[in-house]
Amino acid sequence: MLHGRDAEKAHLASVVEAARLGRSGSVLVRGEPGIGKSALVDDVVSGSGLRVLRTQGLESEAPLAYAALHRLLRPVLGLVEALAPPQARALRVAFGEAEGPRLEPFVVGLATLSILTSAAEDEPLVCVIDDAQWLDEASADALLFTARRLDADQVAMCFVARHSDDTGFSAEGIPTLTLGALDEESARRLLSASAGDLAEEVSDRLLTETRGNPLALLELPTALSPGQRDGSEALPLPLPLTSSVERAFLERCRQLPAAAQTVLLVAVADGTGRLATIERAARALGIEREALDAVVRSGLLLVTGDTADVQHPLVRSAVYQAAGARERRRVHVALAEVLGDLQDADRQTWHLAAVAHELDPELAAALDLVAVRAEARGAHQGAADAYERAAELGDVAAAAARRLAAARNAWASGRAQHASALVARARADTDDPLLRADLDRLRARIEVNTGSADDAHRILTRAAEQVAVHDPHRALEMAVAASVARSHGADSGAVLPAGTVDVRDTDGDSARTRALKHLLTSTERAMAGDRFGAVAELQVARSAGRATDDLDLLGNLGNAALHLGEDDVHRELYAQMLSVARETGDGMAVLYALQRTAFGLYLAGSWTELRSTCEEAVSLGRSVGQRALSATPLAWLTLLAALQGRPDHDAHRVALDGLLAAHPPRGILARPLDDLVHWAAGARAALTGDRAGALHHLREVRLPTLRRLAAHDRIDAAVRADEHELARDWTKELEDFAAGTPLPWARATVLFGRALTTDPASGDDPDELFRQALEHQALAQRPYDRARTQLAHGELLRRNGRRADARLPLRDALATLQDLHAEPLVGRATDELRASGETARRRDESTLLALTPMERKVALLVSEGLSNKEVAAQCWVSPRTVAFHLRNVFAKAGVTSRGELSRLELG
């Protein structure tokens, strides 16, 4: 019976009940050791009547990828064959049941979601993940991804974790239920029920010492002598609570025969939870079955079917820490022998590594193989740990290369600081120029993403110069990376001497090498102001890389096209990158590509798709535990809400401010994000009549590419704030760019700026300038910019008394702005048209559906003819969730068939 947990029990029961009703639910139960987390969860789920799947994090399994996930899914693995082939393969490879190319962890997360939701179709289920703070990283990522993507499914997920652990387990986005101490009355009832023969003063002392911790109340009395229980002997001196409970467990352990204590140590060190493994290791140590039976009878080892686990994690820590080094070694060696016979090479190797204290090249080589297998499964933390341990045990000459491999995997697993430390140590241990170049490249990648982009540029430039004589291709790769950083605004002042990298085509060049050479030349020419030459080189690079599935190359080509203003090119390249990333299941690349796709969607006036894309990116960032990477798409949503005058603008802004406060932007993406935030704030201020605020924010847009994107807003804001000279300066900046490129949008924007800022004494006719701007805009496919120009032109004509002439540009502007749902400017255009003597017919915005982000995404995809299963794959949810949202869309829209969705306004 649970004491004093009625409120917590009701809360947890509501999460479980939601699964029964098809609404899903997830919860993280946190609290100090022994506070009753597992007991609470067990009490609720055992009485729920739902199917229960269980797993547990084990410290000893931290390097073993997907170990905990495999235990959870073992009862439902018969459903693997029904999954989509990439997902089925992902689970088989993750669990070591099949070989295959390198596995993307993201696909394992999708497969976990799919198999659990499929298993729940016939019977709702609850997943219990105990000791989540010790989950191996790969399992944690897959399980947390699943919990964040569950929606209208019959699945509940209960994570149980300690407070204040330093394991790096982060369940951000999962609702938390925190268990505190029992109140005094409940604690006294529990103590009385479990140890009723205690003297009153002893009970009072224990209640004080245990501070409402249920496990301590249950276990500490068992460690007391009869005299201590009746108060005739003094109680032990106060100890830290956890130490006291561990000591109580240890006292129980020491009451067992020596052989039984060794069996318990075997179970603690094992990590598999397989009873057969423990039995075989005990026999290898010469221990009879009776010893195992004695441990089970003591209650310190719990056996269920073919599995065995210790009573509590504190038993594990107490027993292992109390064992001598010699005894630990005997146990690990015995387990390694058994696991070798069972063909479990990874666990066997880790048991041997746990007790190795001297150089052992053979064991280091075995750890290399463990790392390679972990990398193939996408288990980067496990691979990093294996390579790092191999570096400690192997030949000194190979240590730097192993630490580089460890650093790459540590970086891939999100441990930037540890990766940097490994790189620094490896650099100090090697003079090999190629190895140092690779170390510097990784060092720069970490720096460009988490630190100073300028420092990254310096590292790359110097490294390219130093390695060029040894390996020209490495030098080319780093020179390209340095130039990309420079194009994003990084500039350390370091310059690569001319001729260091040979960019001439050769017969032996691969398509990728040729693309890199021309990309480097394009970027360098753009930086030198030769935009015609830059575009020509980019076209060659694009042609060479057209058939590539290299995500880095596609992204860098897209970035180059964006900086050059080549709208069609960057749209195509980012779309290709997104397609490849989706096909390969590279979740982080999908997230990046979605963010970059936003630029093209904004410019093309595809604002409904822009909104859906950014909502998907925000959701994906949260699902993969990378909330910081949700900031850029959230900034786009804030800008779009401002331009459309939507009421959710303030909510987006609050969410963005909170996200930036919790995760300050770092590295190379900090600058464009900062510019986007200022652009959004400036647009909002301008459209709500705050001229000073608009100019303040739009002045802060620094990067040339973003300044050009926001040019119409910036110039218009400066003019309305009577800062005509500033508007002229910004127009001149654009004119310098346009002079080196044939792009029609660039020339149109310059003419727009000149029309707004022309000095009557100059003899320029603003009407003619606007007409010329619109001629160029007709070729540019930037509808919002064109509408801004038409609106400004109509306003000029109306102010000059040419009311009839003003109506055509105002009508055209209004039509486009209505299509974009840019309501603040729709109102302005409507007022201007009315002032010209014509009453505009406003569209009935009530036809716009008030859809949630997921409903909008589902409706858009279904309207394109996709099936529920195909939509689920695109949205990374279950088909059941798709059906749920589709029903909501039908109800809100008043339609009854999928075909009718194509006629709806989904913006």
Residues paired with residue 178 on neighbouring β-strands, in sequence order: 30
Mean pLDDT (10-residue bins), the chain, 907 residues? 88 94 93 89 92 92 90 95 92 88 88 96 94 93 95 95 70 91 90 85 84 84 82 69 76 91 94 89 94 93 89 84 91 94 89 93 96 90 95 95 96 90 96 97 93 93 96 96 89 87 92 96 92 95 89 95 96 95 88 95 95 93 87 97 95 95 89 96 96 97 96 97 96 94 95 92 88 96 97 95 94 95 95 89 60 86 88 87 90 85 72
Residue 548 tokens read as: 């590539």
Show Cβ contacts of residue 634 under 8 Å, excluding neighbours closer than 6 positions.
614, 618, 652, 655, 656, 659
The pLDDT of residue 228 is 82
* pLDDT in the model for residue 291: 94
Spatial distance between the Cα atoms of 247 and 242, rounded to a whole number of angstroms: 8
Q: At what angle do helices 289-298 and 275-284 cross, to 10 degrees?
A: 130
**Under 8 Å CB-to-CB from 492, ≥6 apart: which residues?**
454, 455, 457, 458, 461
Which fold is adopted by the domain 853-903?
Answer: Arc Repressor Mutant, subunit A (1.10.10)
How distant, in Å, are the alpha carbons of 5, 153, 289 from that of 156?
20, 8, 39
pLDDT in tens, 307-365: 898 888 888 888 888 899 999 999 999 999 999 888 889 999 999 999 998 999 999 99
- 701: alpha, beta or left, given left = phi > 0 and alpha = psi -120 to 50? beta
- Give the helix/strand (H/E) hosting 499: none
- pLDDT tens digits for range 5-23: 999 999 999 999 999 999 9
> Which superfamily, per CATH, for 6-178?
P-loop containing nucleotide triphosphate hydrolases (3.40.50.300)
- Secondary structure letter of residue 21 according to DSSP: T
Q: Where are the chain's structural domains?
A: 6-178, 184-238, 252-354, 853-903
In angstroms, the Cα distances linking 560 to 86, 156, 445, 626, 643 are: 32, 45, 18, 26, 27
